Structure 1
């Protein structure tokens, strides 16, 4: 285990990086700007290594879900980095400093590709959404977009609430990673999902963090450094490209506007019936796709901004998240969702 790389990782994790905060920008200036990156109008930082027209996009994001900017103390027990017990921080931020670390090491090793350090992933994939919606030509020639933004130790994501990568591609990527890696269809959302209608293969790889978005978040250094050792030797010419992005089922038509009646997103009762049929991750995907309608619905049932903000930030553990958020809603049907 390289002491210099470990020191670098610890320094990265000492930064609390809320979207657009001074600390996130300081983090970018310290660790990413020296790589020779450019910035686009959406705040993404990117650099091309090797090929003039790369076919592989490597992805991670610079923001975290920290409640406050600034710096934090971290500790290491065995092979895992974590927050001290009395830390006032609400998360470690390995999501996605770990992905940034892998990409930095790949750039230093001159692994070919288009590297994008996305801006604003944690607040709705703003950076990748900007690229996909306003400058899709940025992705011309890209055959695979691979993110380093997945919890755990074994996943090569093939689905993000729908197929985003072929099994053949996943197998060809996993074959060059530690033996424990395998195809995983249980992904939800990261920046590469936003490119699924443009780029044939869109995946995500486990970087060894767990309990992300909570005070209990940890980062396994052993896993991350083993992944680093494989990624700096990766041969993208062995990737199998099969999926047709144009064959993706179209998203449901966007509703026009919220009316609270049968038009738009539907009546309150019908909306509740819809929500009842959804599990947690389906609901997350709905919120991502229809933020304005969801916000209007919350306003209609008189959930204030302050109430929602307080509930979100109090949800520092999975159990607490379930009880705190649902307590905002007194409709019996919603509790059954």
Structure 2
């Protein structure tokens, strides 16, 4: 926990120095090539002739460009939020959660490439500067962003590969439409036509004072990426024209509007007529709601529930809610 808290309590320039010192401390140079790119960021690639996805995270938060203040934290188990007197604009899980996952993968010597980029929040400045250098790398198979809210979203940007998407769907992620991130910026600038996706990393209500971080959700993505080395390193995943980006809902599970999560409005759901699929989606709703609230709040809320005579959709919702509580209680050691 302490290493992650450090990431929330430093600004962008301090974080870049921290990462370089951290890589030195864990002797990462024995396994990786490390390059600092002025105004671009830090590029870390595995040594040896191999293929690898480039894992993308960004160094800045909204606080670097607005309040210039650092957050004061409330920590309850695996759930982090802003203190009521915090002077900043947000908690900073976007994207310190992604940075933590990337550093953890490096510490475990996972044979991926990693890009830690400056100034994503003001237009992907760092990834744009780094793109020519990245285009000269022969081993990159795809761009994997660690810069998405929630616990199970797979954000797409139109630079899609159906096989890459299917790999993450088989690990429990669900397609959603993204707007912009470093991974999509690199795909748009790639001279090799490499696809991208962006994964949930455990923050919610980003860019607001209501931002929260769920450590269980963050560790979920960390565990999934550790398990996917062979698949993600097997070959280049090239952009296809068969995916219809505009046809995606804002999310296939639930709708986000103005950084506020909306639940319970019949107009926002787009369910298939098949009852089984509908119940599955209600289960996912319950799971994600509990994850968003964190263990303590969700546990207290569940204790008040009575399912006697409840509709099937609500039973499915509560089952998902319960499973999220179990996962949080038995989360990966942090």
Specify the TM-score bucket, using the shorter chain as the normaliser.
Answer: 0.5 to 0.7
Partner residue in 1 for 2:197 = 203
Q: Does 1:190 align with 2:181?
A: yes
Q: Is the partner of 1:143 in helix, strand or coil?
A: strand
| Aligned twin of 1:173 | 168
Q: Residues 159-194 of structure 1, C-alpha deviation per residue, up to 9 Å, x if partnerless?
A: 22xx2222321111343x4x3x22x14111101111
Equivalent position of 1:8 in the other structure: 3
Counterpart for residue 65 of structure 1:
62
Measured after TM superposition, the shift of residue 51 of structure 1 is: 3.7
Closer, same or farther: CA 50–237 of 1 in aligned 2, 3 Å = farther
Quickly say closer, same or farther: Cα 1:49–1:243, change in 2 above 3 A: closer
Q: How does 1:141-290 map to 2 (within 5 A)?
A: 141-157=139-155, 159-160=156-157, 163-175=158-170, 177=171, 179=172, 181-182=173-174, 184-197=175-188, 198=190, 199-237=193-231, 244-245=238-239
7, 25, 38: which one aligns with 2:13 = 25
Q: Tell me if the contact between 2:69 and 2:87 (Cα under 8 Å) persists in the aligned partners.
A: no
What residue number does 2:45 align with? 48
Counting matched residue pairs gives 233
Partners of 2:218 and 2:95 lie apart in 1 by: 12
Query: Does the C-alpha gap of structure 1 residues 245 and 234 become closer, same or farther in structure 2, counting only changes over 3 Å?
Result: closer
Task: Give the Å deviation of 1:45.
Answer: 0.4
TM-fit CA distance, 1:106: 0.3
- Taking a change above 3 Å as real, the CA distance of residues 111 and 65 of structure 1, as seen in their structure-2 partners, is same
Query: 1:56: Cα distance to partner?
Result: 1.3
Residues 44 and 7 of structure 1: is their aligned pair in 2 closer, same or farther, counting only changes over 3 Å? same
Distance 1:168 1:245 in 2: 10
> Could you give the per-residue CA deviations for residues 8-59 of structure 1, whole angstroms, max 9, x where no partner exists?
11121122x3xxxxxx222222244421542113331011124445431111
1:173–1:239 contact (8 Å) kept in structure 2: no
Query: Structure 1 56/78 Cα, relative in aligned 2: closer, same or farther at 3 Å?
Result: same
Q: Deviations over 1:75-100 (max 9, x none)?
A: 11343211101211110011000000
SS in 1 for 2:198: strand
Point out where structure 1 has 5 or more consecutive residues left out of the alignment.
1-5, 18-23, 250-280, 282-316, 320-337
1:246–1:234 distance in 2 versus 1, CA, 3 Å? closer
Structure 2 residue aligned with 1:39: 36
| Structure 2: gaps of 5 or more residues | 25-33, 244-249, 251-257, 261-334
Normalising by the residue count of structure 2, what TM-score does the alignment of the two structures yield? 0.63
2:147 match: secondary structure: strand
> In the alignment, is the contact (CA less than 8 A) between 1:79 and 1:220 conserved in 2?
yes
Corresponding residue number in structure 2 for 1:76: 75
Which digits, 9 at most, give the CA deviation of each residue in 1:88-132, with x for residues without a partner? 111001100000000000001111122110111111101111233
1:87 aligns with 2:86: yes
Q: 2: distance between equivalents of 1:71 and 1:56? A: 32
